[in-house]
Structure 1
Amino acid sequence: MMSLHINGEIIKLNNISNPSHIMGNKAANLYKISQQGFNIPHTYFINFFSIDKIIPELTGSDSSTDINRLEKIIACGIDTLLISNIIDVLKQFKNDAPYISAILRSSAHIEDCKDMSFAGIYKSEFISCDIEISELRHMLAKLLCAPLHSSAKEYLSKMKTSNKDKDIFDISLILQNVINGSPSGVMFTQNPISNDNNIIIESTIGLNTTVTSGKITPDYYEINRKNGYIVKKEIGHKKIMAKIVDGKLCEENTPENYQLNYSLSQYHINELLKNAIKLEDLFGDVQDIEWIFDNDKLYILQSRPIVKKEG
């Protein structure tokens, strides 16, 4: 197997002195959110130097790249000191909170844009804070190579955008502790179907992965942004719920009393409405927001523009 050395750094997001050095929209948005006082999980930025050049050089013009082999090459090539520093952050998560699970998320230059979401193309992976070094290397390589998979190629082929091939590997990663809270969900500062200005909230019990993956029908709220009046609400089919067990993401049957009742209190709704409008004002555009409560404290997991109809 060929030899490769991939250097990099891991920095606490709040300690980044020059935000222009942040790679990718997800990390840049989280930095902006945290600087304005919103609650976010503990967040670290992982920058891989020259990864945007390394992967294209390894693949060349070969459209039938052996992705598994490439992932192994990259996994072995990631700098040992960088791996050690990531492990130290995971130990800190476990010792300080303690948090037993973390999530690695992509942050790419062309991801989470107004015209392109790249949803499902760039990946996220839940990991235990006790992860073995070999598995961590594999997870990092898997995320960095995600744009090589067929789903990414199909997505790119239908998009009408310049420089997309050059930009697709401009990728860094985010490391966050997982907040094992409830309720959670997504919200939109504009109705993505009708485009009216009502705030749309979709919520569930446990982690919001069951909502973002489409595995359940969440509770639905449509709220007038001016007076907070609930225009419409519907109880969803929340048959399964997600939570962290022994450091791993698990799904289990939702207790019946939670299935039959709404997941949000009026306090939750008020907090979400207030923060949705603040985030829209911060970014100057309508937002698609992921969130979770922990002991009634609201955390923003990400905020990005609502994507116009793609393709």
Structure 2
Amino acid sequence: MGEQVISLAAKGEIEEIGGKARNLMDLMAAGFPVPEGWVVSTSAYEQFLDRNGLRGRISEALQDLDLKDAVKVVRCAESIRGWMMAGDLDSELAERLLKETAIFGPSGLWAVRSSAIAEDLEQASFAGQQDTYLNVTRERLAESVKKCWASYWNDRAIEYRHDKGVGHLDAGMAVVVQRMVNADSSGIMFTSDPITGDEKIMIESSWGLGESIASGLVTPDRFVCDSSNGEVKESKINSKTQAIFLSPEGEKAVDLPESERNRPSLTKG
């Protein structure tokens, strides 16, 4: 079996680290300021399944599942997630996570993010099918990794894999553990139009953490840029009444002052 924990500063095969982790590694290698982190590999996930005898139980539960019966799918998914959370995590893996993150001090907070092998297939996009956990303390890392693995077995992900012809036990699941950054502003960038496929860069941004965009708390600013030179071709600055920032208690939504609401959350420079 391969390495259980791989640094984002290293190189890894997509079969071991999944799509999201591979993209983060490529960005880091290209010199972009990517927050430090590690990948709990697909090997660790496979070992967890085998260690707890889950492969056979899951296969049996799915074998006769009527995917047209939404109630049964939900119940089946709940059962599998329960088995995952009750499973015993390799103590060496838990200790390795504590050791690697210790260099950032006991008060550091972490993002635990899914990185499934099937996340960015050409014929399907599995982004958003699994869960992300933010503001995770070192003491909760091992539990959060299991929760991330368990989210692979939510009802919407089971139905989506079936619809796309992806075997439930064929596609591995890695997890990214990445240092949280209390961002001044955050955003999402597409290197092509997600609807038309046109070659133009599209950016949506807002103040604070990106969760304010993902959760629909705000209507973000929107920028369209030329993919050849980065020149801004279009921009729409929206009124952003709130933002989410880190606090000692975790994420906190705050009301923005009037002077910030209509100010661009990103500027050129």
Shared fold, TM over 0.5: yes
Distance across 1 between alignment mates of 2:157 and 2:100: 30
User: Does the 8 Å CA contact 2:7/2:38 hold for their aligned counterparts?
Assistant: yes
User: Does the 8 Å CA contact 1:26/1:108 hold for their aligned counterparts?
Assistant: yes
User: Does the 8 Å CA contact 2:109/2:135 hold for their aligned counterparts?
Assistant: yes
* 2:167 alignment partner AA: K
1:210-244 deviation digits (Å, cap 9, x = unpaired): 22333321001122334554332112242221211
Shift of 1:171: 0.8
RMSD: 2.6
Asked if 1:207 corresponds to 2:209, the answer is yes
Distance across 2 between alignment mates of 1:120 and 1:49: 19
1:110-136 deviation digits (Å, cap 9, x = unpaired): 0123332212212211143343xxx44
Which residue does the alignment assign to 2:4? 9
Which residue does the alignment assign to 2:90? 79
TM-score if structure 2 supplies the norm length? 0.81
Asked if 1:30 corresponds to 2:21, the answer is no
User: Does the 8 Å CA contact 1:52/1:171 hold for their aligned counterparts?
Assistant: no
Q: Find the partner of 2:147 among 142, 146, 165.
A: 142
Distance across 2 between alignment mates of 1:21 and 1:213: 30
Distance across 2 between alignment mates of 1:193 and 1:49: 34
Asked if 1:100 corresponds to 2:108, the answer is yes
Q: Find the partner of 1:166 among 169, 175, 179.
A: 169
Shift of 1:263: 1.0
* CA spacing shift, 1:156–1:15, aligned 2, 3 Å: closer
SS in 1 for 2:199: coil
Which residue does the alignment assign to 2:55? 56
User: Does the 8 Å CA contact 1:207/1:243 hold for their aligned counterparts?
Assistant: yes
* 2:4 alignment partner AA: E
Which residue does the alignment assign to 2:66? none
User: Does the 8 Å CA contact 2:14/2:117 hold for their aligned counterparts?
Assistant: no
* CA spacing shift, 1:51–1:254, aligned 2, 3 Å: farther
* CA spacing shift, 1:172–1:247, aligned 2, 3 Å: farther
User: Does the 8 Å CA contact 2:40/2:175 hold for their aligned counterparts?
Assistant: yes
User: Does the 8 Å CA contact 1:93/1:129 hold for their aligned counterparts?
Assistant: no
Question: Taking CA–CA contacts closer than 8 Å with sequence separation of 6 or more, which of the two structures ends up with the larger relative contact order?
Answer: 1
* CA spacing shift, 1:113–1:216, aligned 2, 3 Å: farther
Shift of 1:31: 1.8
Shift of 1:181: 1.6
Pick which of 196-205 and 43-52 moved more.
43-52
User: Does the 8 Å CA contact 2:45/2:174 hold for their aligned counterparts?
Assistant: no
Work out the number of aligned pairs and report it.
Answer: 249
1:1-37 deviation digits (Å, cap 9, x = unpaired): xxxxxx9732322245x64673311112222222222
Gaps of 5+ in 1: 1-6, 268-311
* 2:221 alignment partner AA: D
* 1:125 alignment partner AA: Y
SS in 2 for 1:59: helix
User: Does the 8 Å CA contact 1:41/1:177 hold for their aligned counterparts?
Assistant: yes
Distance across 2 between alignment mates of 1:69 and 1:237: 42
Distance across 2 between alignment mates of 1:207 and 1:195: 27
TM-score if structure 1 supplies the norm length? 0.71
User: Does the 8 Å CA contact 2:113/2:176 hold for their aligned counterparts?
Assistant: yes
SS in 2 for 1:121: coil
Identity percentage of aligned residues: 24
Alignment of 1:1-311 (within 5 A): 9-16=4-11, 19=13, 22-47=16-41, 48=44, 50-51=46-47, 54=50, 55-63=54-62, 64=76, 66-67=79-80, 69-74=82-87, 77-94=88-105, 100-131=108-139, 135-159=140-164, 161=165, 163-168=166-171, 170-226=172-228, 228-246=230-248, 248-267=250-269
User: Does the 8 Å CA contact 1:11/1:46 hold for their aligned counterparts?
Assistant: yes
Shift of 1:148: 1.6
1:262-297 deviation digits (Å, cap 9, x = unpaired): 111221xxxxxxxxxxxxxxxxxxxxxxxxxxxxxx
SS in 2 for 1:165: coil
Gaps of 5+ in 2: 63-75
